[in-house]
């Protein structure tokens, strides 16, 4: 349980809490047992629970998944009172950990980040967490650009289905994170406690604006990835049709040749070939087959099948 004290304020950053850690918090700060149980669960929806002496806030933020270029949602639990802020998470909240370490090492950074109240500390932390999502949307935008260039490559268009599905999954994950938190952060503007004074309303309104911008970006990226997916499917269908057309033409050309080889391969006498030697038979049949191939190709060209 790491802790930073600055002036009269305290920030506790608790990673992977044990049952004993939560019991200690309950005894010291009189937290409700249901809130502490929520901290041990991974599937809590974003919310704010208001009590007489503190607020309990559950938020979700993206973290890097087990596979590269994929993001998952991880829960961040926050207790905020008049002179303390407690963050509880699984350990993958890199923004929280980085900010905590900077505050721990630099007094100047601590002065700027803590401000004069835990409400301002909460604002700074939430602002940085949502700002970090902008960097993820920038990466997604770059990947979308690369996929678009590959799909519309004039000479060698590529099938981008796998990359498209990965990006689509990331966009869906980000939308699932952002959507329920729009109302949660907006509700912070109206929680006028001693640790969320009235002058902080404009600050949290700025965070709400950030969330709206993120949502608009994700809406645009959702439309782009769906368009690219449709285009990619059209490209795949076109390539399959072209392959089938090529194989069909090849089969049609081979059909009369197969007939001729079967006909002249019969072990019987054939008219017009009795006076010829075996080698003469071969060249005669070969010339007939070549003539058929040329004639069929000319017909296909005239029909614009080639």
Q: What confidence score (pLDDT) does residue 297 get?
A: 80
Q: Would you say 89 and 15 are in contact if contact means Cβ atoms under 8 Å apart?
A: yes
Predicted local confidence at residue 17, as pLDDT: 84
Domain 2-238: assigned CATH number = 3.30.460.20
Q: What pLDDT, on the 0 to 100 scale, is given for residue 217?
A: 94
> Hey, do 2-238 and 242-302 end up sharing a CATH topology, with the first three levels equal?
no
pLDDT score for 163: 86
Return the pLDDT at 254: 81
pLDDT number for residue 281: 66
pLDDT for position 110: 84
Q: What is the pLDDT of residue 185?
A: 85
Contacts of 204 (CB under 8 A, 6+ apart): 123, 126, 185, 186, 188, 189
Domain ranges of the chain: 2-238, 242-302
Closest CA to 88 of 57, 53, 112, 55: 57
pLDDT digits (tens, 9 = 90+) for 235-255: 878 777 877 877 788 788 888
pLDDT value of position 67: 59
pLDDT in tens, 2-47: 888 888 889 999 988 888 888 888 888 888 888 888 888 877 788 8
Structural domain 242-302, CATH architecture: Up-down Bundle (1.20)
Q: What is the pLDDT of residue 273?
A: 58
Q: In the chain, which stretches have pLDDT less than 50?
A: 275
């Amino acid at each position: 349980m790491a802790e930073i004290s600055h002036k009269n304020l305290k920030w506790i950053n608790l990673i992977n809490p044990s049952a004993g850690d939560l019991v200690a918090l309950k005894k010291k700060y009189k937290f409700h047992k249901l809130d502490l149980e929520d901290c041990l669960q991974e599937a809590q929806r974003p919310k704010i629970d208001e009590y007489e002496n503190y607020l309990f806030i559950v938020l979700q933020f993206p973290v890097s998944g087990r596979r590269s270029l994929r993001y998952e949602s991880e829960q961040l639990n926050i207790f905020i009172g008049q002179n303390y802020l407690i963050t509880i998470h699984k350990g993958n909240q890199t923004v929280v950990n980085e900010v905590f370490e900077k505050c721990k090492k630099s007094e100047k950074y601590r002065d700027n980040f803590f401000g004069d109240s835990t409400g301002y500390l909460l604002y700074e932390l939430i602002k940085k967490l949502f700002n970090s999502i902008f960097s993820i949307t920038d990466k997604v935008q770059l990947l979308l650009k690369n996929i678009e260039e590959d799909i519309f490559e004039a000479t060698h268009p590529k099938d981008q289905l796998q990359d498209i599905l990965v990006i689509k999954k990331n966009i869906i994950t980000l939308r699932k994170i952002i959507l329920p938190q729009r109302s949660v952060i907006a509700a912070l503007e109206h929680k006028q406690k001693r640790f969320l004074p009235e002058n902080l309303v404009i600050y949290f309104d700025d965070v709400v604006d950030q969330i709206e911008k993120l949502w608009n970006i994700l809406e645009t990226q959702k439309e782009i990835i769906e368009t690219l997916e449709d285009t990619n499917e059209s490209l795949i269908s076109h390539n399959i049709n072209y392959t089938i057309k090529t194989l069909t033409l090849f089969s049609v050309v081979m059909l009369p040749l197969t007939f001729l080889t079967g006909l002249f391969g019969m072990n019987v006498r054939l008219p017009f070939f009795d006076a010829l030697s075996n080698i003469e038979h071969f060249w005669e049949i070969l010339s007939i087959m070549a003539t058929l191939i040329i004639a069929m190709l000319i017909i296909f060209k005239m029909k614009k099948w080639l």
